[in-house]
Amino acid sequence: MDAQKVDMFIMTNGKYFPEESLPMIHDRLTSLDDSKWAQLSMLQFKSTLTAIILSVLVGALGIDRFYLGHIGLGIGKLITCGGLGIWTIVDWFLIMDAAKSENYKKLIVTMAF
């Protein structure tokens, strides 16, 4: 793939991925053929800001986990009222990394196929 397209993709979407994974993403994108570009450019990534806002406002109901696609964890938080509040507070610190991790997984799966 064209290095300029890869750099633009990283600059535009780098905030959605863990910082330590960016060099590997760059290398993998550079080695892909151009036929994957349309598929990659149409991916929608979960916003870390939205995840943290949901976690703070309605995290006890598990909405933040449902947003990330963690249905089982969302149901667990909903049933336990956020682990009686403890799980909710812990997720305030973990949810941004969880969102970046989910986005990274989505990108890797898309690049593999």
Single-letter code of the amino acid located at 46? K
pLDDT along the chain (113 residues), means of 10: 88 95 93 85 93 95 95 95 92 95 94 81
Are residues 99 and 46 in contact, defined by beta-carbon separation less than 8 angstroms? yes
* Alpha-carbon gap, residue 43 to 107, rounded angstroms: 8
∠ at Cα 52 (49, 55), nearest 5°?
A: 150
Nearest to 45 by CA among 83, 109, 102, 113: 102
Has this prediction a pTM greater than 0.85? yes
